[in-house]
Amino acid sequence: MLLLAAPVLVFWRPGQPFFYILDDWRILQQVVELPFWQYLTVPNTEHWYPLTNLICYGLFKLFGDHYSLLVLVNCLLTGVNAFLLYLFYRFHLSPSLALALSLFYAIAGVHPAAVWNSSYICFILALGLFMGALLLMQLYLQTPSSSRLFGVGLCGLLAVLSNNFVIVALAALPFYPLFLGEREAKRRFWALALVVVLCYLAFIIGYSRFAGVRSATTLNYNLFSLPGPEYLLHLAYGAVLSPFFYLFWGYYHFPVWAYVAAVATLALSVALVWWGGAARERRLALWILFLNVLPMLLVSLIRYQKAPEQAFVPRYASYTLIGALLFVGIAWNILSRWLPARPWARILLPLGFLAILVYGQLGSLHSWREKYLEYSRNARDFYQEAGTGKAGTLFPPGDKRRDFLPWDCRNLTRAQALDIRRFLQGDLKRMRGAVLPPETGGR
């Protein structure tokens, strides 16, 4: 329960003027413009995630314009992910260390940039289902059964259908027993590999049928061109540096001390594992690198041509933090074997380090919250004017406040604005062209 409550206690502020922003509007427009079954399978730019579409439809229908409840759902699901993380860490770390790292993740995982957009539930779902596949795989290696193997495949496929960025990450599942398993466990590689291949085939068939290759290049025109050195730099930033920076500061404008602390922690952890770790610890560290790099292979291919800072987007750091925290936990286990058996070394030292991490997260929340409150207010103001003839002059072209307004706001017609508002207010059956209903009080 503590893991579930931590994100809400850190982030939740009743009465804040939350409102739909950015990618939320892309889904909302598809909801009101398409038949239900077509909406479920239509691509969202280059993404194809019917499970997310289904869940978003239910949540939008249930909560309407009470947007803060959608943010609350994201926070609670992040707590669930933290609990799943705790269960997985228990296989490699002590219960107390696993609990401390999981609680920290529950705090770090609720960056407003990761949970404030209701549509970002796709990343949270994908991460949770991937963790479910990882846990079932661990149980399958201990006691093989067809039901557990089926569960690995089901969770893996549902994770991909929640957000496509984890599709390459599924390859980390069969390689886990190769890196860490004993001779008997290594024999499970082929069964797990077959399950992952079947997940890939199911996704490829669905994507080609309902989205197509053209969707893959919707926002990434040079997707199939040969990437250059910038791609490798973006990959290194996203897979290695980004999660360690976010350990110390939860806002992408990192202070100098966070850069120094992150690089020092990374370098010290690598040194401890490489020179002081047992063979299994080194193999686990190598698998963690594999785990972090795999999804960024696809993410970097899509984003490296936009801007280097795209590698430090919090929604991706929420995934790579899993490996970074486990890596730090392994390093601490190695260091603790060399420390004297005294309270300052075994208790105060790790608590002090954890306090610095928590300070970095809590200290940066204000910046995120203020920025997204502004985005939310701007989107609310635009939406309330949409269809009245005033929206076009509210934020003129070139105004940076347009960035988080309703998606493609210049083409948001009066009919679309009416239909979206009716849907959010549970009155989609009314005929188009009616007078705009009263405002909702800015929720």
The two three-digit tokens of residue 333, written as one number: 């286990």
pTM above 0.95, yes or no: no
pLDDT at 81 exceeding the cut of 90: yes
The answer to whether residue 89 scores a pLDDT higher than 90 is yes
Q: In angstroms, what CA-CA distances link 81 with 128, 213, 362?
A: 5, 32, 20
Q: Is 427 inside any structural domain?
A: no
Is 2 domain-assigned?
no
Residues present in the chain in total: 443
- Asked if residue 405 belongs to a domain, the reply is no
Average pLDDT over residues 422-434: 57
Quick check: is 443 in a domain? no
| DSSP classification of residue 405 | S
pLDDT at 438: 38
Q: Which residue has the tokens 């957009």?
A: 117
How far lies 276's CA from each of 166, 270, 272, 324, in Å? 32, 10, 5, 18
Q: With a cut of 70, say whether residue 350 has pLDDT above it.
A: yes
Average pLDDT over residues 85-91: 94
> pLDDT at residue 408 above 60?
no
Among 158-162, 334-338, 407-411, which range has the highest average pLDDT? 158-162
3-state secondary structure of 377: helix
Q: Does the pLDDT of residue 415 top 80, yes or no? A: no
- C-beta neighbour count of 63 within 10 angstroms: 18
Contact (CB, 8 A) for 220 and 46:
yes
Q: Which residue has the higher pLDDT, 138 or 219?
A: 138
Does position 433 have pLDDT exceeding 50, yes or no?
no
Q: List the one residue out of 411, 407, 399 whose CA is nearest residue 21.
A: 407
User: Which residues contact residue 146 at a Cβ distance below 8 angstroms, ignoring those fewer than 6 apart?
Assistant: none
Using CA atoms, how far residue 92 sits from 136, 243, 281, 333, in Å, is: 15, 20, 9, 10
Assess if residue 407 is contained within a domain.
no
Distances (CA, A) of 256 to 229, 248, 340: 26, 11, 32
Asked if residue 192 belongs to a domain, the reply is yes
Which amino acid is present at 317?
Answer: A
Q: Say if 381 falls within a structural domain.
A: no
d(CA 297, CA 313): 15
Provide the residue range defining the domain that includes 241.
17-376
Predicted confidence at residue 419, as pLDDT, reads: 79
pLDDT of residue 153: 95
Share of the chain above pLDDT 90, in %: 37
Token digits of residue 224: 């199939």
- Distance between CA atoms of residues 84 and 60, nearest Å: 26
Q: How far is CA 319 from the centre of its chain?
A: 6
Q: What are phi and psi of 133, to 5 degrees?
A: -65, -40
- Find which of 45-49, 375-379, 435-439 is predicted with most confidence, using mean pLDDT: 45-49
Residue environment code for 285-323, b if the CB has 16+ CB neighbours within 10 A, otherwise e? bebbebbbbbbbeebbbbbbbeeeebbbbbbbbbbbbbb
Domain count, the chain: 1
Nearest CA-CA partner of 188 in 180, 178, 179? 178
Among 71-75, 358-362, 404-408, whose mean pLDDT is lowest? Answer: 404-408
Structural domain includes residue 431: no
- Are 135 and 84 in contact by the 8 Å Cβ rule? The answer is yes
From 10, 93, 172, select the one nearest 350 (Cα to Cα): 93
Distant-in-sequence, close-in-space partners of 8: CB < 8 Å, separation ≥ 6: 72, 75, 76, 79
Do 320 and 238 touch, CB atoms closer than 8 A? yes
